[in-house]
Amino acid sequence: MRILMVCLGNICRSPLADGLLRNKVSEKQLPWMVDSAGTAAYHIGNPPDHRMIQTAKSNGIDISELRARQFTSQDFTAFDRIYVMDQSNYNNVLRLASTNADRQKVYLLLDHLYPNKQLEVPDPYYGNQSDFDAVFTLVNEATEALITDLTNDK
Ligand code: 4NP
């Protein structure tokens, strides 16, 4: 399984989702590949936002080595599943899809935790520490639910 996490900047939500899923995949010794990207180009080459690095670190997850890159249409062939954080990311990713097979690879990350609710991981960029903590809790639960669902062959 090859999984790509996608948000807008690739410096807050998707690097956290990437780091959390990598950590769980490694603990469970699953033969999965995990990466992340942003739909925007603003932060290409940058490490994650220092507030998200710190929030992850205080929960035992190291995302400091990750570097932002932009989502490209080639990601549709490089990955089996593309998880977006919100509806805006979804629309931006779908704009680069060229086949129905591409489109069917794209899911909201929270679909595993809250099926059929179309819920979003809120962007914490303009928020405070409690917003970063809330995103950590949500993404931690969502990545756990993702592994449970996909390893049960759903
Ligand atoms: P992310 O958060 O999409 O979770 O990485 C953001 C980071 C940067 C910006 C917006 C959202 N920005 O506008 O620079």
Which of 5, 6, 12 for mutating ligand 1's site (highest number of atoms within 8 Å of CB)? Answer: 12
- For the entire predicted model, the pTM comes to 0.97
CA 105 to chain CA mean position, Å: 14
154 pLDDT higher than 90: no
Pocket of ligand 1 contains residue 108 by CB under 6 Å:
no
Which pLDDT value is given to residue 111?
A: 98
Closest CA to 136 of 69, 58, 64, 66: 58
Helices 129-151 + 13-27 axis angle, to 10: 40
Tracing tokens 């220092």 back to the chain, one arrives at 50
Which of 6, 8, 46, 52 for mutating ligand 1's site (highest number of atoms within 8 Å of CB)? Answer: 8
CA 54 to chain CA mean position, Å: 18
Residue pair 17/139 in contact by the 8 Å Cβ criterion: yes
Which pLDDT value is given to residue 152?
A: 83
> What are the boundaries of each domain within the chain?
2-152
Nearest ligand 1 atom to alpha carbon 8: 3
What spacing in Å lies between the alpha carbon of 142 and ligand 1's midpoint?
A: 20
What spacing in Å lies between the alpha carbon of 153 and ligand 1's midpoint?
A: 33
Q: What is the pLDDT of residues 50-106, one digit of tens each?
A: 999 999 999 999 999 999 999 999 999 999 999 999 999 999 999 999 999 999 999
Average pLDDT over residues 35-42: 98
Nearest ligand 1 atom to alpha carbon 48: 5
Which pLDDT value is given to residue 153?
A: 56
Q: What is the pLDDT of residues 115-153, one digit of tens each?
A: 999 999 999 999 999 999 999 999 999 999 999 999 985
Residue 23 is encoded by which pair of tokens? 């950590």
CATH class of 2-152: alpha beta
Residue pair 151/31 in contact by the 8 Å Cβ criterion: no
Tracing tokens 């996608």 back to the chain, one arrives at 6
Pocket of ligand 1 contains residue 8 by CB under 6 Å:
yes
CA–CA gap between residue 99 and residue 89 (Å, rounded): 18
User: Catalytic residues, which ones?
Assistant: 7, 13, 123
Which residues in 8-140 belong to E strands, given as ranges?
Answer: 33-38, 81-84, 106-108
**Other C-beta atoms lying within 10 Å of the C-beta of residue 117:** 10
